[in-house]
Amino acid sequence: MKWNTKITKVEPNHLVTAGYPQEDLIGNIPYPSVVYLLLKGKLPSQEHGQMMDAILTACIDHGVTPPSAMASRVVASGGVPLPTAVAAGVLSIGDAHGGAIEKGALFLQNSVKKMREAKKSFDETADFLVKESREQKKRILGFGHRVHNSDPRTKRLFKLADELNISGDHIALSKAIEKSLEKNLGKKLPINVDGAIAAIISDMGFDYRLGKAFFLLGRVAGLTAQVYEEQTREKPMRKMFTVDAEYDGPDEKKLPK
Protein backbone atom coordinates (compact mmCIF):
# COMPACT_ATOMS: atom_id res chain seq x y z
CA MET A 1 0.00 0.00 0.00
CA LYS A 2 1.31 3.43 -0.83
CA TRP A 3 0.28 6.40 1.29
CA ASN A 4 1.01 9.97 0.38
CA THR A 5 1.55 12.48 3.13
CA LYS A 6 2.68 16.07 3.38
CA ILE A 7 3.18 15.91 7.13
CA THR A 8 6.37 14.14 8.14
CA LYS A 9 9.12 12.27 6.31
CA VAL A 10 10.67 9.64 8.57
CA GLU A 11 14.21 8.50 7.84
CA PRO A 12 16.72 6.92 10.18
CA ASN A 13 17.99 9.70 12.46
CA HIS A 14 16.16 12.34 10.47
CA LEU A 15 12.62 13.74 10.58
CA VAL A 16 11.32 16.36 8.20
CA THR A 17 8.01 18.00 9.10
CA ALA A 18 6.31 20.05 6.40
CA GLY A 19 9.70 20.87 4.91
CA TYR A 20 11.75 21.51 8.04
CA PRO A 21 14.03 19.17 10.00
CA GLN A 22 12.35 18.59 13.36
CA GLU A 23 15.62 19.27 15.17
CA ASP A 24 15.58 22.77 13.64
CA LEU A 25 11.98 23.39 14.68
CA ILE A 26 12.47 22.20 18.27
CA GLY A 27 13.23 25.17 20.48
CA ASN A 28 13.66 27.57 17.55
CA ILE A 29 10.08 27.92 16.35
CA PRO A 30 7.39 28.39 19.03
CA TYR A 31 5.14 25.34 19.36
CA PRO A 32 1.97 27.18 18.27
CA SER A 33 3.77 28.18 15.07
CA VAL A 34 4.73 24.55 14.46
CA VAL A 35 1.05 23.67 14.91
CA TYR A 36 0.24 26.34 12.33
CA LEU A 37 2.85 24.78 10.04
CA LEU A 38 1.14 21.39 10.39
CA LEU A 39 -2.32 22.78 9.67
CA LYS A 40 -1.40 25.22 6.89
CA GLY A 41 1.67 23.65 5.35
CA LYS A 42 3.80 26.76 5.87
CA LEU A 43 5.30 28.69 8.77
CA PRO A 44 3.30 31.70 9.95
CA SER A 45 4.34 35.30 9.76
CA GLN A 46 5.26 36.62 13.20
CA GLU A 47 1.80 38.15 13.51
CA HIS A 48 0.00 34.95 12.56
CA GLY A 49 2.23 32.99 14.93
CA GLN A 50 1.32 35.26 17.84
CA MET A 51 -2.37 35.05 16.95
CA MET A 52 -2.18 31.26 16.82
CA ASP A 53 -0.59 31.22 20.26
CA ALA A 54 -3.32 33.49 21.64
CA ILE A 55 -6.12 31.34 20.15
CA LEU A 56 -4.75 28.22 21.83
CA THR A 57 -4.60 29.93 25.21
CA ALA A 58 -8.09 31.38 24.76
CA CYS A 59 -9.43 27.81 24.49
CA ILE A 60 -7.40 26.33 27.31
CA ASP A 61 -9.94 25.87 30.10
CA HIS A 62 -13.36 26.97 31.28
CA GLY A 63 -13.63 25.20 34.62
CA VAL A 64 -15.25 21.90 35.49
CA THR A 65 -18.70 22.32 33.94
CA PRO A 66 -18.33 22.16 30.14
CA PRO A 67 -19.17 18.72 28.67
CA SER A 68 -15.53 18.06 27.80
CA ALA A 69 -14.26 18.68 31.34
CA MET A 70 -17.18 16.74 32.82
CA ALA A 71 -16.61 13.79 30.49
CA SER A 72 -12.91 13.70 31.30
CA ARG A 73 -13.56 13.94 35.04
CA VAL A 74 -16.27 11.27 35.03
CA VAL A 75 -14.22 8.86 32.95
CA ALA A 76 -11.15 9.45 35.12
CA SER A 77 -13.33 8.54 38.06
CA GLY A 78 -13.78 5.04 36.62
CA GLY A 79 -10.12 4.33 37.28
CA VAL A 80 -8.52 4.55 33.83
CA PRO A 81 -5.21 5.90 32.49
CA LEU A 82 -4.83 9.65 31.94
CA PRO A 83 -4.92 9.57 28.12
CA THR A 84 -8.15 7.52 28.12
CA ALA A 85 -9.85 10.12 30.28
CA VAL A 86 -8.49 13.05 28.28
CA ALA A 87 -9.72 11.40 25.07
CA ALA A 88 -13.23 11.08 26.53
CA GLY A 89 -13.33 14.85 26.89
CA VAL A 90 -12.11 15.30 23.32
CA LEU A 91 -14.99 13.09 22.15
CA SER A 92 -17.52 15.61 23.45
CA ILE A 93 -16.22 18.31 21.12
CA GLY A 94 -19.09 18.32 18.67
CA ASP A 95 -21.58 20.47 16.85
CA ALA A 96 -22.86 21.86 20.16
CA HIS A 97 -19.53 22.17 22.01
CA GLY A 98 -16.81 24.01 20.11
CA GLY A 99 -18.74 23.36 16.90
CA ALA A 100 -19.69 27.00 16.48
CA ILE A 101 -16.14 27.67 15.32
CA GLU A 102 -16.53 25.35 12.34
CA LYS A 103 -20.08 26.34 11.43
CA GLY A 104 -19.49 29.98 12.30
CA ALA A 105 -16.41 30.13 10.08
CA LEU A 106 -18.31 28.51 7.21
CA PHE A 107 -21.15 30.98 7.68
CA LEU A 108 -18.83 34.00 7.81
CA GLN A 109 -16.76 32.83 4.84
CA ASN A 110 -19.87 32.29 2.72
CA SER A 111 -21.45 35.54 3.83
CA VAL A 112 -18.34 37.63 3.16
CA LYS A 113 -18.09 36.09 -0.28
CA LYS A 114 -21.70 36.95 -1.09
CA MET A 115 -21.31 40.43 0.43
CA ARG A 116 -18.37 41.15 -1.86
CA GLU A 117 -20.18 39.83 -4.93
CA ALA A 118 -23.26 41.88 -4.13
CA LYS A 119 -21.15 44.90 -3.20
CA LYS A 120 -23.13 45.39 -0.01
CA SER A 121 -21.94 47.09 3.17
CA PHE A 122 -21.24 45.20 6.42
CA ASP A 123 -24.34 46.67 8.07
CA GLU A 124 -26.63 45.83 5.16
CA THR A 125 -25.28 42.30 5.07
CA ALA A 126 -25.58 41.86 8.83
CA ASP A 127 -29.17 43.12 8.84
CA PHE A 128 -30.03 40.73 6.02
CA LEU A 129 -28.42 37.76 7.80
CA VAL A 130 -30.15 38.54 11.10
CA LYS A 131 -33.51 38.93 9.35
CA GLU A 132 -32.99 35.66 7.48
CA SER A 133 -32.04 33.80 10.66
CA ARG A 134 -35.16 35.08 12.43
CA GLU A 135 -37.40 34.08 9.55
CA GLN A 136 -35.85 30.62 9.43
CA LYS A 137 -35.85 30.44 13.22
CA LYS A 138 -32.18 29.41 13.10
CA ARG A 139 -29.63 30.89 15.47
CA ILE A 140 -26.52 32.50 14.06
CA LEU A 141 -23.76 30.51 15.71
CA GLY A 142 -21.07 32.10 17.83
CA PHE A 143 -23.20 34.67 19.65
CA GLY A 144 -24.35 34.50 23.27
CA HIS A 145 -22.89 32.51 26.18
CA ARG A 146 -24.48 30.66 29.08
CA VAL A 147 -22.22 32.44 31.60
CA HIS A 148 -20.78 35.61 30.08
CA ASN A 149 -22.59 38.59 28.56
CA SER A 150 -19.26 40.07 27.56
CA ASP A 151 -16.78 37.28 26.97
CA PRO A 152 -13.35 38.41 28.26
CA ARG A 153 -11.61 36.15 25.77
CA THR A 154 -13.38 37.73 22.80
CA LYS A 155 -12.36 41.23 23.78
CA ARG A 156 -8.74 40.22 24.22
CA LEU A 157 -8.57 38.23 20.96
CA PHE A 158 -10.14 41.00 18.90
CA LYS A 159 -7.79 43.58 20.41
CA LEU A 160 -4.83 41.39 19.47
CA ALA A 161 -6.21 40.84 15.98
CA ASP A 162 -6.28 44.61 15.55
CA GLU A 163 -2.78 45.08 16.94
CA LEU A 164 -1.41 42.32 14.73
CA ASN A 165 -3.13 43.69 11.63
CA ILE A 166 -5.13 40.50 11.18
CA SER A 167 -8.61 42.00 11.49
CA GLY A 168 -10.36 41.89 8.14
CA ASP A 169 -13.78 41.47 6.62
CA HIS A 170 -14.77 38.41 8.66
CA ILE A 171 -14.18 40.13 11.98
CA ALA A 172 -15.87 43.26 10.69
CA LEU A 173 -18.95 41.33 9.57
CA SER A 174 -18.98 39.52 12.89
CA LYS A 175 -19.10 42.80 14.78
CA ALA A 176 -21.79 44.14 12.45
CA ILE A 177 -23.90 41.06 13.18
CA GLU A 178 -23.49 41.59 16.93
CA LYS A 179 -24.74 45.16 16.49
CA SER A 180 -27.62 44.10 14.28
CA LEU A 181 -28.66 41.37 16.72
CA GLU A 182 -28.83 43.90 19.54
CA LYS A 183 -30.83 46.33 17.41
CA ASN A 184 -33.28 43.68 16.21
CA LEU A 185 -33.63 41.57 19.34
CA GLY A 186 -33.54 44.43 21.80
CA LYS A 187 -30.96 42.64 23.90
CA LYS A 188 -27.25 41.99 23.68
CA LEU A 189 -26.12 38.65 22.26
CA PRO A 190 -22.38 39.16 22.33
CA ILE A 191 -19.80 37.37 20.22
CA ASN A 192 -18.54 34.46 22.28
CA VAL A 193 -15.08 32.95 22.15
CA ASP A 194 -16.15 30.42 19.49
CA GLY A 195 -17.55 33.18 17.32
CA ALA A 196 -14.44 35.30 17.79
CA ILE A 197 -12.16 32.44 16.76
CA ALA A 198 -14.40 31.64 13.79
CA ALA A 199 -13.95 35.21 12.55
CA ILE A 200 -10.22 35.37 13.25
CA ILE A 201 -9.27 32.08 11.59
CA SER A 202 -11.35 33.16 8.60
CA ASP A 203 -9.36 36.38 8.37
CA MET A 204 -6.21 34.23 8.69
CA GLY A 205 -7.30 32.18 5.69
CA PHE A 206 -7.96 28.86 7.41
CA ASP A 207 -10.26 26.14 6.09
CA TYR A 208 -13.47 26.18 8.15
CA ARG A 209 -13.23 22.37 8.45
CA LEU A 210 -10.41 22.94 10.92
CA GLY A 211 -12.75 24.91 13.18
CA LYS A 212 -13.08 22.30 15.91
CA ALA A 213 -9.34 21.62 15.74
CA PHE A 214 -8.40 25.00 17.23
CA PHE A 215 -10.69 24.45 20.19
CA LEU A 216 -9.47 20.88 20.62
CA LEU A 217 -5.79 21.80 20.46
CA GLY A 218 -6.12 24.43 23.16
CA ARG A 219 -8.63 22.67 25.38
CA VAL A 220 -6.73 19.38 25.51
CA ALA A 221 -4.35 21.05 27.98
CA GLY A 222 -7.22 22.00 30.26
CA LEU A 223 -8.61 18.48 30.03
CA THR A 224 -5.23 17.05 30.96
CA ALA A 225 -5.13 19.28 34.03
CA GLN A 226 -8.71 18.30 34.94
CA VAL A 227 -7.86 14.59 34.72
CA TYR A 228 -4.64 15.00 36.65
CA GLU A 229 -6.48 16.89 39.38
CA GLU A 230 -9.22 14.26 39.53
CA GLN A 231 -6.65 11.47 39.75
CA THR A 232 -4.51 13.12 42.41
CA ARG A 233 -7.07 14.95 44.59
CA GLU A 234 -10.12 12.69 44.45
CA LYS A 235 -11.01 9.07 45.05
CA PRO A 236 -12.22 6.87 42.18
CA MET A 237 -16.01 6.53 41.97
CA ARG A 238 -16.55 9.48 44.32
CA LYS A 239 -20.09 10.78 44.39
CA MET A 240 -19.90 13.53 41.78
CA PHE A 241 -23.45 14.66 41.16
CA THR A 242 -26.83 15.00 42.73
CA VAL A 243 -29.10 14.10 39.87
CA ASP A 244 -32.76 13.76 40.59
CA ALA A 245 -33.64 11.08 38.03
CA GLU A 246 -37.34 10.65 37.58
CA TYR A 247 -38.31 7.43 35.88
CA ASP A 248 -41.26 8.06 33.58
CA GLY A 249 -41.16 4.83 31.58
CA PRO A 250 -43.76 2.06 31.58
CA ASP A 251 -45.28 1.12 34.95
CA GLU A 252 -43.70 -1.84 36.67
CA LYS A 253 -45.27 -5.11 35.61
CA LYS A 254 -44.73 -8.85 35.59
CA LEU A 255 -43.23 -10.65 32.62
CA PRO A 256 -45.78 -11.91 30.09
CA LYS A 257 -46.37 -15.66 30.36
Interface with a second copy (CB under 8 A), residue from 48, 88, 112, 198 = 88
| 71 belongs to the binding site for a second copy (CB under 8 A) | yes
Nearer to a second copy, 113 or 209 (CB): 209
| 78 belongs to the binding site for a second copy (CB under 8 A) | yes
Interface with a second copy (CB under 8 A), residue from 54, 166, 191, 201 = 54
Q: How far is the CB of 40 from a second copy (least distance, A)?
A: 10
Interface with a second copy (CB under 8 A), residue from 34, 112, 126, 171 = 34
Interface with a second copy (CB under 8 A), residue from 104, 144, 195, 222 = 222
Q: How far is the CB of 43 from a second copy (least distance, A)?
A: 7
* Interatomic CA distance for residues 175 and 167, integer angstroms: 11
* Interatomic CA distance for residues 17 and 197, integer angstroms: 26
* Interatomic CA distance for residues 170 and 122, integer angstroms: 10
Interface with a second copy (CB under 8 A), residue from 47, 62, 120, 134 = 62
Q: In the 3-class helix/strand/coil scheme, how is 28-93 assigned residue by residue? A: CCCHHHHHHHHHHCCCCCHHHHHHHHHHHHHCCCCCCCCHHHHHHHHHHCCCCCHHHHHHHHHHCC
* Interatomic CA distance for residues 65 and 71, integer angstroms: 9
Q: How far is the CB of 186 from a second copy (least distance, A)?
A: 20
| 136 belongs to the binding site for a second copy (CB under 8 A) | no
* Interatomic CA distance for residues 56 and 51, integer angstroms: 9
